[in-house]
Structure 1
């Protein structure tokens, strides 16, 4: 299934408003963490998978990348990216990342921010990524943490007297589809995978693991969104940095 929920008008409207507010988990948890792993971008070629509205692609250009290609399935997102960010060395492509064909192109860095959990065939995607990396090229991605995606349904916090008693973890080894209610009811489809699957699939396709981060909220984030203190109890995201170790 190649999901394009971001072209749903209601979802796109609400998601865009959330990102523009600057008060969200991306800003206070995921983005600081993933950017902390980015190597020097000076003169590097970058592929941004699931680029959304292009904010990270632009970040790479602003930090010295030689050229950046952003790929996203959503027409709404790509149109917004082209409107917001224009640069001779920045190009956006509207198509599913699973279908991209970039003949005779190799990249120093492939990045994917919170998009891999939408991919049904993770193994095939990693195989494609390996072929698009230069020797010693890096693949860095964030995804929803398996602790967050394992349990089916939407009510993961168990509450006692309206207080969050504990996070309910269940169905962890049962990989596959999970359906979330996020701006649209029973429409957002993601794929739950164990930590072992996330890591071992990279290794099986010729990538070595450099670092793994289970990020916590920044101090500013906790101040502006007090509930983010619960990231220390149940992490929302996991970020994995890997490197190509073969010449295929």
Structure 2
């Protein structure tokens, strides 16, 4: 199996305490931007790569998907997904995103939420997604923003008085492995430039249909301490594309 941080007991327990883990999509910072970009799920065959707790799988099923398949490398994540899933047309498969394999044109929608920055070879995943998708099918994914992944540790720099000075961006054009810190734990992620994301899609026969850089909603800014600092740099982005 590929690297699987989410089956580490301590890391998983920390992840389980996150608001998005407890409350689901409505607590996800990107949900307000992602939801209007999602395709009509009615009658569609849906694949979720890196499905985690299965929140998006359940959402697709609730909104009329014909069938939903969730893929995740983490046994602990899938145990949570199985426990909370209510729809009979949702199934889960344990596999790394890079290793997932299905017959050609098995799906009408492929989505992935904040998982592709854990994948070393984005190009190979895009090629597989194109093969899995029907013509005219939708590929929509979010990933950590290259501004956020570029420097590596993903930590603010602080002034002597403890206030935030700036978020460092360095080595932007040097793509590859980054040793990051998430929830106080060491995690391996992969940095690539925004033009690599976009041009990989274009060169593999996809047409871009949407792009967003999610930012905190007004309610988040008003209710969550420290959230205004999240306006100082992008943390993630969302791309939607269709198979030509």
Which position in structure 2 is the counterpart of 1:77? Answer: 77
What residue is the counterpart of 2:14 in the other structure?
14
Q: CA deviation at 1:28?
A: 4.6
User: Is 1:233 equivalent to 2:232 in the alignment?
Assistant: yes
How is 1:53-64 mapped onto 2 (pairs within 5 angstroms)? 53-64=53-64
Residue of structure 1 in register with 2:194 after alignment? 195
Report the CA distance between 1:77 and its aligned residue. 0.8
Contact 2:215–2:230 (8 Å) recurs in 1:
yes
Once the two structures are TM-superposed, the CA of residue 199 in structure 1 deviates from its matched residue by 0.5
Between stretches 75-84 and 224-233, larger displacement belongs to 224-233
Does 2:92 match 1:88? Answer: no
Q: Contact conserved, 1:10 with 1:183, CA < 8 A, in 2?
A: no
RMSD of equivalent CA atoms: 2.0
Q: Deviations over 1:41-74 (max 9, x none)?
A: 1111110000001111001101111110000000
Normalised by the size of structure 1, how large is the TM-score? 0.91
Residue 121 (structure 1) shift: 0.8
Q: Tell me the distance in 1 between the aligned counterparts of 2:93 and 2:64.
A: 21
**For the residues of structure 2 that align with 1:103 and 1:23, how far apart are their CA atoms?**
31
Deviation at 1:153, TM superposition (A): 2.7
Long gaps (5+) in structure 2 = none
Aligned partner of residue 30 in structure 2, secondary structure: helix
Per-residue CA deviation, residues 183-219 of structure 1 (Å, 9 max, x unaligned), is 3532x11100100101011111111111110011112
Relative contact order (C-alpha < 8 Å, sep 6+): which is higher?
1
Task: Say how many residue pairs are matched.
Answer: 243
Question: Alpha-carbon deviation of 1:95?
Answer: 0.9
Task: Determine if contact 1:28/1:218 at 8 Å carries over to the other structure.
Answer: no
Instruction: Give the match for residue 124 of structure 1.
Output: 124
Gaps of 5+ in 1: none
- Is the Cα–Cα contact under 8 Å of residues 11 and 185 in structure 2 kept in the other structure? no
Moved more, 83-92 or 156-165: 156-165
Deviations 1:116-153 (A, max 9, x none): 00111110000000001111111000000000000133
| TM-score, scaled relative to structure 2 | 0.93
Contact 2:114 2:143 in 1 (8 A): yes
- Residue 154 of structure 1 deviates from its aligned partner by 4.0
Contact 2:216/2:230 (8 A) holds in 1: yes
- Aligned ranges 1:174-189 → 2 under 5 Å: 174-183=174-183, 185-186=185-186, 188-189=187-188
Show the counterpart of 2:68: 68
Q: Distance in 1 between matches of 2:16 and 2:118?
A: 19
Using the TM superposition, name which of 220-229 and 201-210 deviates more. 220-229
Task: Indicate if the aligned counterparts of 2:104 and 2:133 stay in contact, CA closer than 8 A.
Answer: no
**For 2:168 and 2:41, how far apart are their aligned partners in 1?**
40
1:97: Cα distance to partner? 1.6
Q: Which residue of 2 aligns with 1:150?
A: 150
C-alpha distance in structure 1 between counterparts of 2:117 and 2:109, whole Å? 19
Contact 1:152/1:178 (<8 A) preserved: yes
In the alignment, structure 1 residue 165 sits paired with structure 2 residue 165? yes
Q: Secondary structure at the match of 1:152?
A: coil
